[in-house]
Amino acid sequence: MSSEYLPGLAGVPATQSNISYLDGEAGLLAYRGYRIEELAEKSTFEETTLLLLKGELPTSDELAEFEHLMRGNRIVKYNVREIMKNLPVTGHPMEMLQTAVASLGMFYPTEEAKYSDYKMSVKIIARMASLVTMWEHIRNGYDPLLPRKDLSYAENLLYMFSGEDPDPDVARIMDACLILHAEHTINASTFAALVAASTLASPYLVVAAAVGTLAGPLHGGANEKVVQMLQAIGKPENAKAWVENQLDNKGKIWGMGHREYSVKDPRATILQKMMMVWAEKKGSISPMFETALAVEEICEQRLAAKGIYPNVDFYSGILYKEMGIPTDQFTPLFAISRSAGWLAHWQEQLTDNRIFRPTQVYTGHTERPYMPMDKR
């Protein structure tokens, strides 16, 4: 048995999976063999979710049945709403989401024997958007809106945020964003989900564990940091001096670099194109987007040789900001879509389960006598 310590388990295979594949040198990401570019253009979040959960693109009847199940499970019991109403409004939405998801298991219990039933996944994914959008109203002192069954997942998400019928073009962009964030091999939050799943914890607790992991700024929280960074830079002409100062002082440039990619993250490329579509729709490029383009250009000059390019977080936050989504809700949006990937991995883990129990390289004392208090 190897005793070599690899910080962050870098490059250590933790599981076998056929859910998603990436090639960091080629900039390729595929779900079940389908490239992310094609799914973002041609699929929907519902179809992509079913692909992740079941392994194949659905027939029209299968997709219709799945959409029916998803729409019928969006509503959340008032007990959960009351819990949310008693949470501090100053708390981060990810803290709320972890609490609310964990509580769902108490109000929608299931037998352990049925944990692997994919309908459990449907119930959780369907309610993720409801929880996130409910909180936006609750923390502002209002009752949340009820979900609508006549809208797609992305449309209903936008409706429950604003109370208005969503613009079809905006809904399509949101739908593509959900697809892009739905799955990404064994990242930190997915690994947390696998560890929880391996103990046979309920799927609600599996997702709660993943939500808590995604909340960190080195994972899902980076999209918030990107927007804050761009706001601090202010305008495109400030980008060069800001970036060079960060690099010279070994500071972090949020949204740049990814452990798995040595080229530009394919999701970042798609999001950038979507941002251009948004700009065309609005008739102008926002100052924040212009600043982001300037930052990317300067970083490419300084960092491309090291294989550091924009990742998915670099442009996703800008898009959400343009849609009017509050900055601290960016990561919950990430969690909504990634719940599809988490639960696909949860199902896969249970097909050949073994509890995770890694070893350690111990660096402390091996043995020493207890010292009485009067001799310390």
pLDDT at 1 over 60: no
The predicted pLDDT at position 134 comes to 97
- The tokens for 28 are 């390729």
> Do 293 and 236 touch, CB atoms closer than 8 A?
yes
The predicted pLDDT at position 111 comes to 65
The predicted pLDDT at position 70 comes to 96
According to CATH, the topology of domain 222-322 is Cytochrome p450-Terp; domain 2 (1.10.230)
The predicted pLDDT at position 280 comes to 85
The residue written with tokens 């050949």 in the block is 352
Is residue 258 part of the annotated active site? The answer reads yes
Is residue 117 part of the annotated active site? The answer reads no
pLDDT in tens, 252-283: 899 898 888 888 999 999 999 998 888 888 88
| HEC string for the chain | CCCCCCHHHCCCCCCCCCCEEEECCCCEEEECCEEHHHHHHHCCHHHHHHHHHHCCCCCHHHHHHHHHHHHHCCCCCHHHHHHHHCCCCCCCHHHHHHHHHHHHHHHCCCCHHHCCCHHHHHHHHHHHHHHHHHHHHHCCCCCCCCCCCCCCHHHHHHHHHHCCCCCHHHHHHHHHHHHHCCCCCCCHHHHHHHHHHHCCCCHHHHHHHHHHHHCCCCCCCHHHHHHHHHHHHCCHHHHHHHHHHHHHCCCCCCCECCCCCCCCCHHHHHHHHHHHHHHHHHCCCCHHHHHHHHHHHHHHHHHHHHCCCECHHHHHHHHHHHCCCCHHHHHHHHHHHHHHHHHHHHHHHHHCCCCCCCCCCCCCCCCCCCCCHHHC
Instruction: Please compute the mean of the pLDDT values over residues 169-196 and round it to a whole number.
Output: 95
The predicted pLDDT at position 220 comes to 81
CATH number of the 18-215+329-351 domain: 1.10.580.10
- Higher-confidence position of 318 and 99: 99
Domain definitions of the chain by residue range: 18-215+329-351, 222-322
The predicted pLDDT at position 113 comes to 52
**Mean pLDDT (the chain, rounded):** 92
Marked catalytic residue, from 175, 181, 184, 258 = 258
Q: Which of 255, 279, 284 is nearest to 267 (CA)?
A: 255
State how far the Cα of 360 lies from the Cα of 7, in Å rounded to an integer. Answer: 11
Q: At what angle do helices 60-72 and 45-54 cross, to 10 degrees?
A: 100
pLDDT in tens, 282-309: 888 889 999 999 999 999 898 888 989 9
Task: Please give the share of the chain, as a percent, with pLDDT higher than 90.
Answer: 71
Marked catalytic residue, from 181, 184, 265, 313 = 313
In this structure, of 118-132, 177-191, 313-327, the range with the lowest mean pLDDT score is: 313-327
> Do 351 and 115 touch, CB atoms closer than 8 A?
no
pLDDT at 192 over 80: yes
pLDDT in tens, 216-242: 888 888 888 899 999 999 999 999 999
